[in-house]
Structure 1
Amino acid sequence: MARVGGRNAAFAWVVGLGCLAILGVLAALAVPMIPASVAWFGGAVENAQGTAPTSAPVAAAGDDEPTALPTECPELYDEALWATMRFSRGAVLTPSKDAPVTTATALVTALSPQVQLTCFWHADEGTVSTTLATVPPDAGAIAAAALPASGFGCETEGERTRCTRTDGDLTETIEAGGGLWLSTSEDAWHPAGYVSRTGDRIWG
């Protein structure tokens, strides 16, 4: 039988193999989406049947806005700052309920902060320690009156008082307001915006 003009067996094989390769690549790219697709489909079915959860979701650790007072260290940070701290060279986080790291020991004694959590970071650059606690409602006014004699400069920001002291590589910050205390001691390591960003997590 005569061959049909224009047909080339070798070319057809090459085209066929190319098509198979493309299909293989598309299949490989689609596999990771299968679990997400199944979860989405399941959620859609639940919504249609009226069986989907009705309670509001709780924000996960590291989200940009906390839903309540932090109870664990990751909740004290926005996502970008958390990543900065975690991935700094040699960074190790030690959570505890230890007393605040500060030279203002007389103020700590007077206010007796009830520590909720202390997040102590050690990295190659230095250390950062932050303590969240509850204090009397007038703690901000007491801090503003007492701390300037110890070299702190104090200012009011919204509902809280912020007092800061720098001595060489050491920077200390104590914030109090609304019955809350947030103090930070940065020794040689000064992450950008650390104090303001952790403060915003507490007071907004």
Structure 2
Amino acid sequence: MARVGGRSAWIAWPVAVICAAVVGALVWLAVPGIPSAVSFVGDTLRAATTSLPAVDDADAASTAPATDCRDLYPDELWSQLVWTPKVLLSQNAALPATTTSLAQTLAPTVVFTCTWRTEDGRSISTTYAQVADGSAAAAQAALTSEGFACGLDGARVHCERGAGAVTEIHDLLGTAWLSSVMTDWMPEGYAAQTASRVFVG
């Protein structure tokens, strides 16, 4: 084996022996604690596993209607909206941004309104509101007369109309009204995903 210039064997050997002795001493001191450490880690992992609720879907919808903007969006849709470049979200109790007279006709009690805006002029405004029971039929008649395509999606009334860059969607069932106005921006499955967070149970 080639020798490296400047390295002294009579210093290297004692240092190596001392290092080996230190490592051995540390191992000897650690050995009694190994069973306890293994037991601790095992107990921690078992506790974490048994404390997790059983969920079939990692992004399962809540059994109660959404109470704020974060609740309204499944995780994937929320991430898509939040990571949109130069986007701003505001939550308030503003009336639906509908271009129809429905907001005055139904006299809703707004739970929350979520408005997303980008610097390039795109926007989405979605309102979840409470209305009088039985308002769906009246809303369907009014919206149909204004050019909306209406029909039943399960038990709820679903109405939709596109005019240029603006798409307007309304869903009503019982006392719940979900209204969305999208300007030059319509994420895939937006209406269905938000409706799944309002019309639950």
1:85 aligns with 2:91: no
Q: Structure 2 CA distance, aligned partners of 1:70 and 1:80? A: 16
Q: Structure 1 CA distance, aligned partners of 2:133 and 2:42? A: 47
Q: Structure 2 CA distance, aligned partners of 1:40 and 1:69? A: 39
Could you tell me which residue of structure 1 aligns to residue 69 of structure 2? 73
Could you tell me which residue of structure 2 aligns to residue 188 of structure 1? 184
1:96 aligns with 2:98: no
**Higher mean Cα deviation, 120-129 or 180-189?**
120-129
Amino acid at match of 2:116: W
SS in 2 for 1:191: coil
Tell me if structure 1 keeps the 8 A contact 2:98–2:168.
yes
Higher relative contact order (CA 8 A, sep 6+): 2
Of residues 110, 124, 141, the one that matches 2:137 is 141
- What's the TM-score, normalizing by structure 2? 0.70
Per-residue deviation, residues 159-202 of structure 1 (Å, max 9, x unmatched):
21011111100000111112100000000111111111111222
Aligned 1:103-182 pairs, distance under 5 A? 103-105=99-101, 107-123=102-118, 124=120, 126-182=122-178
Deviation at 1:67, TM superposition (A): 2.9
> Which sections of structure 2, spanning at least 5 residues, go unmatched?
4-11, 13-39
Q: How many residues align?
A: 161
Deviation at 1:41, TM superposition (A): 3.7
Tell me if structure 1 keeps the 8 A contact 2:65–2:199.
no
Segments of 4+ in structure 1 off by > 4 A? 42-47
Q: Structure 1 CA distance, aligned partners of 2:188 and 2:135? A: 27
Deviation at 1:118, TM superposition (A): 0.4
Tell me if structure 2 keeps the 8 A contact 1:64–1:79.
no
> Which sections of structure 1, spanning at least 5 residues, go unmatched?
1-7, 14-37
SS in 2 for 1:172: strand
Deviation at 1:63, TM superposition (A): 4.0
Deviation at 1:64, TM superposition (A): 3.0
Identity %: 32
